[in-house]
Amino acid sequence: MILVSLLETAWHALVTHRMRSFLTMLGMVIGVAAVILMLAIGQGAQAMVRGAIESMGSNLFIIMSGATTSGGARVATGDAPSLTFDDADAIRDLPDIRASAPVSPGGAQLIYGGVNWNTSVYGTTPDYAVVRNWSMASGSFFSEADVRRGARVVVIGGVVARELFGDENPVGKVIRIKQAPFEVIGVLADKGQSLDGRDQDDTVLVPISSAQQKIFSSSLRNRARFIMVQAVSEKRMDAAETAINDLLRTRHRIGVGQDDDFTVRNLTALAETAASTTRIMSLLLGAIAAISLVVGGIGIMNIMLVSVTERTREIGIRMAIGARRRDVLWQFLIEALTLSLIGCGIGLLFGMAGAWLVGWLAGLPVAVTPVSVLMAVGVSFLIGVFFGFYPARNAAGLDPIDALRAQ
């Protein structure tokens, strides 16, 4: 039989039972919409994590002052950070290390004109820009010479630039950080959110020497709360970690059997863990949505079975006037397929609208990819065939005379 005739017959049967067809399709609509939405949210979450990882910089270690217990908690070793600027320099000289920046973090109030703004202040060295792969939107980063001199210069993040300066060009202006005047010499390019959800652009960077003298008024000169280190490549990460540990134990004169007074964390590995957690989460979401799709398929099978029973006489009449078994099989299979694919189409529309809405409300970069659309259509097709086949085969297997006698 010609496909057009089959489609026409199927369409006619579905339109005849409008309400029933609609309710049957609803299962597929919800299933497909859920799958599309969940995949989109999963994709969005993954894209966000990927973006955060990229903005973090690659092949990163963070070395923190203080030991770690076996449980992973950092043990405070008094107020004095154990790491020194010299440690950072020594680490930079290791063969597998590209850059090494000591960091002294804190917070402070910034004032420019009548505007003030509280933000995080990082005292560090030019290597920090290398490690974090941070480029400049305008101006320039401070130099090694600025660090040595304790120059009162500051590089500000995009958020700070906008909050303090609005449309003004910040470069060359003087702001006050805890009353001390600092000249803005550069504005950082925007990075967005970090993995832990902080806004990375709401920060300012100053030479670590100036930070300790003028802002934190710390008595602990030449000491850093942590050191950010970048290895030359992902392959050399393990070797670099061992080398850092050995170097610091030697420099800190830690004997065999004694606990470290520092902790090396592979940030890139942590990020990968976060990424794979997100991946698993989105897979789970997708799987749960897929279950509702299967439930939709069972709904189709249920209705098709009822329909075959109700239309036994019709099947008998069709066979009496020349329908072959395969004609009847196709008729019911196409009907099931039409249900599942129309349901899929409507579900796609709802899913996309939902994804757009979620993206808009949650600020998530949701993405309905062609792959997920194709997948939804493919799965709906398979569901139509799979759940339509059994009822269709029942119909085709009827004996003409028995079917005709049915009431």
Partner 1 sequence: MTESAPPLIEVANLGKDYPTGAGVFRALDDVSLRIAVGEFVAIMGASGSGKSTFMNLLGCLDRTTRGSYHLDGQDVGRLSSDQLAALRNREIGFVFQGFNLLPKLTSLDNVALPLMYAGMGREARRRQAQAMLDRVGLGERSHHTPLQLSGGQQQRVAIARALATRPRIIFADEPTGNLDSETSRQVMDLFNQFNRKEGITLVLVTHEADMAAYARRRIRFHDGRVIEDVVTEGVPA
Binding site for partner 1 (CB under 8 A): 1-2, 4-5, 8, 12, 16, 313-314, 317-327, 399-401, 404
Give min distance, CB of 28 to partner 1, in A. Answer: 24
What radius of gyration, in Å, describes the C-alpha atoms of the chain?
33
Give min distance, CB of 11 to partner 1, in A. Answer: 12
* φ/ψ of residue 73, rounded to 5: -80, 140
Residue 2: C-alpha distances to residues 27, 217, 331 (Å) = 29, 87, 11
Give min distance, CB of 303 to partner 1, in A. Answer: 17
**Whether the Cβ atoms of residue 291 and residue 297 lie closer than 8 Å to each other:** no
Name which of 4 and 76 has its Cβ closer to partner 1: 4
Give min distance, CB of 321 to partner 1, in A. Answer: 4
CB atoms within 10 A of CB 117: 18
Name which of 358 and 404 has its Cβ closer to partner 1: 404
Is residue 239 exposed (0-12), middle (13-18) or buried (19+ Cβ within 10 Å)? middle
Give min distance, CB of 356 to partner 1, in A. Answer: 40
Give min distance, CB of 399 to partner 1, in A. Answer: 8
Name which of 280 and 401 has its Cβ closer to partner 1: 401
Whole-number Å distance between alpha carbons of 313 and 327: 16
Give min distance, CB of 405 to partner 1, in A. Answer: 10
Put residue 392 in one of left, alpha, beta given phi > 0 → left and psi -120 to 50 → alpha. Answer: alpha
Name which of 228 and 328 has its Cβ closer to partner 1: 328
Q: What does the DSSP assignment read for 101-113?
A: EEEEEEEEEEEET
Whole-number Å distance between alpha carbons of 308 and 310: 5
Name which of 12 and 74 has its Cβ closer to partner 1: 12
Name which of 13 and 224 has its Cβ closer to partner 1: 13
Q: For residue 357, what are the contacts with CB-CB under 8 A and spacing of at least 6?
A: none
Beta partners for residue 174, in sequence order: 183
Tokens standing for 130? 């290398």
Name which of 251 and 325 has its Cβ closer to partner 1: 325
CA angle 316, 321, 327 (to 5 degrees): 70
Give min distance, CB of 393 to partner 1, in A. Answer: 14
**Whether the Cβ atoms of residue 178 and residue 119 lie closer than 8 Å to each other:** no
Name which of 210 and 307 has its Cβ closer to partner 1: 307
Of residues 292, 325, 340, the one with CA closest to residue 403: 325
Give min distance, CB of 4 to partner 1, in A. Answer: 7
**Whether the Cβ atoms of residue 314 and residue 328 lie closer than 8 Å to each other:** no
Name which of 190 and 327 has its Cβ closer to partner 1: 327
Q: What does the DSSP assignment read for 331-368?
A: HHHHHHHHHHHHHHHHHHHHHHHHHHHHHHHH------
Q: For residue 213, what are the contacts with CB-CB under 8 A and spacing of at least 6?
A: 150
Of residues 303, 367, 344, the one with CA closest to residue 45: 367
